[in-house]
Structure 1
Amino acid sequence: MARANTYLAPLSLLFLAGSLAMLFFVILSAVTTTSPLQETYFLSANTDGITGARSVTQWAYFYICGENNQDCSKATPAPPLGWAWSGNPENAPSELIGEHGGDTTSEYFFYMWRFGWVFYLIALVFSILAFFSGFVACCGRLGSAIAGLMALVALFFHTIAVSLMTAVFVRMRNIFIANGREASLGRYAFGFSWGSWTALLIATILFCIGIRGSKEGTYGSGSGSGGRRWGRQRSVRSRRSYDMNGRRVKEDYA
């Protein structure tokens, strides 16, 4: 019987590679004007008339940009969402404005997105560790256990990251719409984020199955070691019954 890891580990690596690729698309959004990075943003909203804002603002991972991810701000780690406009702006939705980020961002949006931003990076680090550990999973159960643990930790932080991202930008979109402004979620950023999470979940499950699958193959019937062990026991009992001549049939069926 073929060991489970001979096909489960490569399949896990394939899903993990897909998860990493989509996660990189989200993190590198707006870095260049080439597709799909040009179309990858979390939220696009009409900010015309807000003090210091563009007519259309799109929020990416490192940048706050104009339409089509152009006219972007300087790349900044965890940029406050209110940096799309000036401090204490006029005509901005009051729910978004607060004393954080230079009087541009409310406490809720400032901290929710800052933590979500960080968890994306932590998920990326553990996903990379899980990917390289996945090559060891091809060798046996211990490798699958290590890769599965790394993938599980990555999945934990990835879940928090996409949950916070979804909560922040869905609520932000609803606030813009409630204030009579057009706003829409970025289908690429949301698709890549949740697609990456799904692929990581599948990879984690496959790594865990690989741990159990290898163990079960050891005790299979027929050519497995378990089958050989039972075969030796039957041969010993047969020799004993042969030595007892006429009582052989009775011993075999006792």
Structure 2
Amino acid sequence: MARLQTYLAPISLLFLAGSLVMLWFIILSALTTTTPLNKTYFLSADTSGITGARSVTQWAYFYICGEGNVGCNKAAPAPPLGWAWSANPSGAPSQLVGTHGGDTTSFYYYYMWRFGWVFYLIALVLSVLAFFAGFIACCGRLGSAIAGTAAASALFFHTIATSLMTAVFVKMRNAFIADGRSASLGRWAFGFSWGSWAALLIATVLFCMGIRGSGDRYSGGGGGRRWGRRQRSVRSRRSYDMNGSTNGRRVKEDYA
């Protein structure tokens, strides 16, 4: 078990690094036309005939783009999903249009994606903190506890972010399909999101194992066995002394 503990922190760091890389791919999607950023988007839908919209629209993290993540709008934090078309458009699915985002987006889609967008950033910041704390985990139980706490916090916000993203864009896809338009989820963005979440979960579990496992050498390891022998030897001396004193009293009584 002691030998296993030597590798727990480095393995945790590897999974955490993988989670961070995939999270960065999501956040930087559509930033350039190189792979995988040009293929990373949450939803691609046929928006032809909608006022002010492209023929095909793809929603990324900072951008709303055309097919192939090109011809994107200017980067904006938590862009309303309805920025793909003009205000009060005609031809757009009615469930998606509302008074938010400059009369482009409904209440549900405006706030659900805005909160999901923010939780992705919080998960990223906490994952970075957990990654640096992971180097301390190589030093012992306290380091594992610090890294495990940071990773668990990141996992909490990552879970919310990924769940909100999935709910928003799956419902949005269904709205386009119900309106007679083709729409598909972005395999790369969903794969990176859930892959990052899974890697972070594994890293968190391994850090927690480091907290528990490092104490084995004091309780069940070699040190524990030595302590057990010492206890048994102390008990043996005590019983010997007690038996010896009892025998001495018996001898005295016989001579008396």
State the TM-score, normalized to the length of structure 1.
0.92
Question: Counterpart of 2:181?
Answer: 181
User: Secondary structure of 2:2's match?
Assistant: coil
For residues 64-86 of structure 1, the C-alpha deviation after alignment (integer angstroms, 9 at most, x for no partner) is 00000000110000000000000
Paired residues of 2:82 and 2:101 also in contact (CA < 8 A): yes
Distance 1:238 1:164 in 2: 65
In the TM superposition, residue 135 of structure 1 has moved relative to its aligned partner by: 0.5
In the TM superposition, residue 200 of structure 1 has moved relative to its aligned partner by: 0.5
Q: How does 1:52-131 map to 2 (within 5 A)?
A: 52-131=52-131
Larger Rg: 2
Paired residues of 1:3 and 1:213 also in contact (CA < 8 A): no
Distance 1:94 1:216 in 2: 61
In the TM superposition, residue 231 of structure 1 has moved relative to its aligned partner by: 2.1
User: Secondary structure of 2:45's match?
Assistant: strand
In the TM superposition, residue 239 of structure 1 has moved relative to its aligned partner by: 5.3
Paired residues of 1:4 and 1:210 also in contact (CA < 8 A): no
Structure 2 counterpart of 1:52, which letter?
G
Unaligned runs of 5+ in 1: 248-254
Structure 2 counterpart of 1:45, which letter?
A
Distance 1:209 1:161 in 2: 26
Question: Counterpart of 1:164?
Answer: 164
Distance 2:130 2:204 in 1: 9
In the TM superposition, residue 215 of structure 1 has moved relative to its aligned partner by: 1.0
For residues 87-128 of structure 1, the C-alpha deviation after alignment (integer angstroms, 9 at most, x for no partner) is 011111111110111110000000000000000000000000
Question: Counterpart of 1:228?
Answer: 226
Distance 1:191 1:12 in 2: 20
Structure 1 counterpart of 2:230, which letter?
R
Unaligned runs of 5+ in 2: 248-256
Question: Counterpart of 1:205?
Answer: 205
Q: Does 1:23 pair with 2:55?
A: no
Q: How does 1:139-158 map to 2 (within 5 A)?
A: 139-158=139-158
Distance 1:158 1:188 in 2: 17
Paired residues of 1:78 and 1:117 also in contact (CA < 8 A): yes
Paired residues of 1:20 and 1:124 also in contact (CA < 8 A): yes
Structure 1 counterpart of 2:199, which letter?
A
Q: Does 1:10 pair with 2:16?
A: no
State the TM-score, normalized to the length of structure 2.
0.91
* Equivalent residue pairs, number: 245
Q: How does 1:29-48 map to 2 (within 5 A)?
A: 29-48=29-48
Paired residues of 2:51 and 2:86 also in contact (CA < 8 A): yes
User: Secondary structure of 1:33's match?
Assistant: coil
Distance 1:238 1:108 in 2: 74
Paired residues of 2:44 and 2:183 also in contact (CA < 8 A): yes
Paired residues of 2:141 and 2:210 also in contact (CA < 8 A): yes
User: Secondary structure of 1:37's match?
Assistant: coil
Distance 1:114 1:210 in 2: 36
For residues 33-59 of structure 1, the C-alpha deviation after alignment (integer angstroms, 9 at most, x for no partner) is 000000000000000011110000000
Paired residues of 2:145 and 2:207 also in contact (CA < 8 A): yes
Paired residues of 1:3 and 1:217 also in contact (CA < 8 A): no
User: Secondary structure of 2:139's match?
Assistant: coil
RMSD over equivalenced CA pairs, Å: 1.8
Structure 1 counterpart of 2:158, which letter?
H
Structure 1 counterpart of 2:231, which letter?
Q
In the TM superposition, residue 3 of structure 1 has moved relative to its aligned partner by: 5.5
User: Secondary structure of 2:61's match?
Assistant: coil
Paired residues of 1:127 and 1:154 also in contact (CA < 8 A): yes
Distance 2:88 2:57 in 1: 17
User: Secondary structure of 1:131's match?
Assistant: helix
